[in-house]
């Protein structure tokens, strides 16, 4: 029997998982840690420390500004050097807190022991408060605050929790290495989430190329009722929320603004489940994460456990330094990651990888006429017509773009990476999406 997957579109990029067999190593502590105030969707957090303040590992340094915002904690101990701006992975200068590192002293409330907490007897509200106070956001890259996800709109009956362990982006192995490293903690985290959502069943969706993780987790969940490990056929972008829900349950989330909750599902990344365990059972806020540092010319590609705020350059040094033929540094994977302007960019909550591409791989080729080969239409996992939306974007025909469902685009990049004419399809689609989104907001506020 062939494994399940989603039905519309999708591509099969070369997986290039250079680091799948590598255990997680601790990253070196930075000399200065930088915490951008925008590490989540929603409004930037508000600093609650001042220049010169002493902080410990786990000290709250910025408070959420609104429902969709999140807490930020210091991942290092030391002194607040300044509150300034830093160029983050978006390429923009954004406000950030700079902390000079002195020693490594932790907040005493954090349980740093290795002992596994198996039973968590807390009320739902208390758990959600802990998750919010720990500053947990979706760690797959979307950075949606997890406590919001755990309070689905009333009227939506949630019956399935889906754990996203797909990691369909080429090169990245952060989730894979975490599953091999801490399977027990992840399963306790999943049980905490199930309890919070009041669901009887959880499904861990993993792509088949991670056979060792599938086997390990299957062994662990044998004794746990309600959790199933489901191997999925390899296909990008299976880690997309809607694609994963369809692959696992066969249900299709309606077009925006419908949420996954409308088909009874909540999807949480496996790294987030681990962070939930640490927050709830160990009282440890989100201060570190696994980052894959990789690339074809990197001498020592590795999976590192990194304190948030560490600069990307420091991780690259630990992986053997920046290769001579480097032409592009990417935060995230090669399909959806963001190009970095330099190596000073700090690791944030959503940074799953640092990918270094060499000249040949990174350069775009000259754009040619669309030859109407329809490969983009075939590849689009949302059933859109990328060639048409891109042309509408190029010409500024926002009406055509809106009628062609541009707002459903998940920006996975399948269209552009298959186009034989090398059209920058996604660039134009994004432009159209931004403009149509603005027009829709204006229309709604004008009512």
Partner 1 sequence: MSQKLLISTAPHIHCGDTIERNMHLVILALLPALIASFIIFGIGALVVTVTSVVSCMLFEWLISRFLLKREKCTLGDGSAVITGLLLAFNLPSGMPLYQIVMGSLVAIGIGKMVFGGLGNNPFNPALVGRVFMLISFPSRMTSWPVPHQMMAYSDAVTAATPLGLVGYQNDSLPSYLDMFLGNTGGSLGETCALALLIGFAILLAFKVISWHIPVTIMLTVAVLTGIMWLVNPSVYVDPLTHLLSGGLMLGSIFMATDYVTSPMTHKGMVWYGIGIGFLTVVIRLFGSYPEGMSFAILIMNAIVPLINNWCRPKHFGETAK
CA torsion 384-160-275-240 (nearest 10°) is -10
Q: Which two tokens stand for residue 89?
A: 């992975």
Q: In this complex, which beta carbon is closest to partner 1, that of residue 234 or of residue 355? A: 355
**Min dist. Cβ of residue 377 to partner 1 (A):** 5
Q: In this complex, which beta carbon is closest to partner 1, that of residue 91 or of residue 103? A: 91
Q: How far apart are CA 113 and CA 208, in angstroms?
A: 33
Q: Which two tokens stand for residue 46?
A: 């508000």
Q: In this complex, which beta carbon is closest to partner 1, that of residue 34 or of residue 136? A: 34
Q: In this complex, which beta carbon is closest to partner 1, that of residue 11 or of residue 392? A: 11
Q: In this complex, which beta carbon is closest to partner 1, that of residue 144 or of residue 387? A: 387
Q: In this complex, which beta carbon is closest to partner 1, that of residue 195 or of residue 338? A: 338
Q: In this complex, which beta carbon is closest to partner 1, that of residue 118 or of residue 374? A: 374
**Min dist. Cβ of residue 257 to partner 1 (A):** 12
Q: How many residues does the chain have?
A: 447
Q: Tell me how crowded residue 54 is: count the other CB atoms within 10 A of its CB.
A: 13
Q: Tell me how crowded residue 361 is: count the other CB atoms within 10 A of its CB.
A: 15
Task: Tokens 């060499």: give the residue.
Answer: 358
Closest to 288 (Cα-Cα) out of 33, 6, 85: 33
Buried residues in 397-417 as b, exposed as e (16+ CB within 10 A) = bbebbbebbbeebbebbbbbb
**Min dist. Cβ of residue 244 to partner 1 (A):** 13
Say which residues have a Cβ less than 8 Å from residue 188's Cβ, sequence separation at least 6: 116, 117, 118, 120, 277, 281
Q: How far apart are CA 182 and CA 329, in angstroms?
A: 29
- Going edge to edge, which strands form the sheet with 93-101? 32-36, 93-101, 78-87, 54-55
**Min dist. Cβ of residue 324 to partner 1 (A):** 8
**Min dist. Cβ of residue 313 to partner 1 (A):** 8
- Omega before 257 within 30 of 0, i.e. cis: yes
SS3 labels along 140-198: CCCCCEHHHHCCCCCCCCCCEEEEEECCCCCCCCHHHHHHHHCHHHHHHHHHHHHHHHC
**Min dist. Cβ of residue 366 to partner 1 (A):** 8
Q: In this complex, which beta carbon is closest to partner 1, that of residue 79 or of residue 421? A: 421
Q: How far apart are CA 53 and CA 55, in angstroms?
A: 6
Q: In this complex, which beta carbon is closest to partner 1, that of residue 16 or of residue 220? A: 16
Say which residues have a Cβ less than 8 Å from residue 222's Cβ, sequence separation at least 6: none
**Min dist. Cβ of residue 8 to partner 1 (A):** 6
Q: Which residues pair with 178 in a beta bridge?
A: none
Q: By 3-state DSSP, what share of the chain in percent is helix, strand and coil, each rounded to 5?
A: 30, 20, 50
Q: In this complex, which beta carbon is closest to partner 1, that of residue 116 or of residue 374? A: 374
**Min dist. Cβ of residue 243 to partner 1 (A):** 9
**Min dist. Cβ of residue 6 to partner 1 (A):** 9
Q: In this complex, which beta carbon is closest to partner 1, that of residue 194 or of residue 335? A: 335
**Min dist. Cβ of residue 281 to partner 1 (A):** 36
Give the footprint of partner 1 on this chain (CB under 8 A).
8, 11, 13-14, 91, 170, 242, 251-255, 258, 263, 313, 322, 326-330, 332, 334-343, 355, 357, 361-365, 368-375, 377, 380-385, 387, 405, 408, 411, 413-414, 416-422, 426-427, 430
**Min dist. Cβ of residue 350 to partner 1 (A):** 14
Q: How far apart are CA 384 and CA 9, in angstroms?
A: 10
């Amino acid at each position: 029997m062939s494994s399940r997957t989603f039905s519309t579109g999708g591509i099969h990029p070369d997986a290039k998982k250079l680091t799948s067999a590598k255990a997680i190593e601790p990253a070196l502590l930075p000399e200065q840690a930088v915490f951008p105030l925008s590490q989540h969707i929603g409004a930037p957090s508000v600093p609650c420390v001042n220049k010169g303040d002493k902080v410990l590992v786990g000290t709250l340094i910025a408070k959420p500004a609104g429902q969709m915002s999140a807490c930020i904690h210091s991942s290092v101990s030391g002194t607040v050097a300044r509150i300034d701006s830093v160029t983050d992975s978006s390429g923009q200068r954004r406000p950030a807190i700079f902390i000079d590192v002195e020693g490594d002293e932790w907040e005493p409330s954090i349980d740093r022991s290795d002992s596994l907490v198996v039973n968590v007897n807390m009320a739902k509200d208390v758990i959600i408060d802990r998750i919010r106070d720990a500053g947990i956001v979706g760690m797959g890259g979307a950075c949606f605050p997890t406590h919001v996800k755990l309070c689905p709109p009333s009227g939506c009956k949630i019956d399935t929790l889906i754990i996203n362990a797909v990691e369909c982006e080429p090169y990245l192995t952060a989730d894979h290495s975490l599953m091999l490293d801490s399977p027990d903690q992840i399963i306790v985290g999943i049980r905490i989430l199930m309890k919070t959502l009041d669901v009887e069943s959880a499904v861990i969706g993993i792509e088949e190329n991670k056979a060792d993780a599938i086997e390990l987790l299957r062994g662990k969940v044998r004794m746990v009722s309600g959790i199933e490990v489901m191997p999925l056929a390899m296909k990008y972008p299976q880690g997309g929320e809607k694609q994963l829900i369809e692959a696992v349950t066969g249900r299709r989330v309606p077009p925006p603004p419908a949420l996954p909750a409308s088909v009874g599902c909540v999807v949480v990344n496996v790294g987030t489940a681990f962070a939930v365990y640490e927050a709830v059972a160990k009282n440890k806020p989100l201060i570190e994460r696994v980052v894959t540092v990789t690339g074809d010319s990197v001498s020592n590609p590795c999976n590192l456990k990194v304190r948030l705020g560490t600069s990307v350059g420091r991780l690259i040094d630990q992986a053997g330094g920046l290769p001579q033929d480097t032409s592009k540094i990417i935060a995230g994977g090669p399909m959806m990651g963001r190009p970095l302007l330099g190596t000073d960019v700090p690791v944030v909550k959503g940074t799953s990888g640092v990918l270094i591409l060499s000249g040949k791989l990174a350069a775009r080729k000259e754009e040619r006429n669309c030859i109407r080969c329809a490969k983009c239409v075939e590849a689009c996992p949302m059933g859109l017509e990328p060639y048409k939306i891109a042309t509408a974007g190029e010409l500024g025909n926002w009406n055509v773009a809106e009628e062609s469902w541009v707002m459903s685009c998940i920006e996975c990049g399948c269209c552009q990476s298959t186009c034989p004419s090398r059209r920058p399809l996604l660039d134009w689609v994004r432009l159209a999406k931004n403009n149509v989104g603005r027009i829709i907001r204006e229309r709604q506020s004008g009512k």
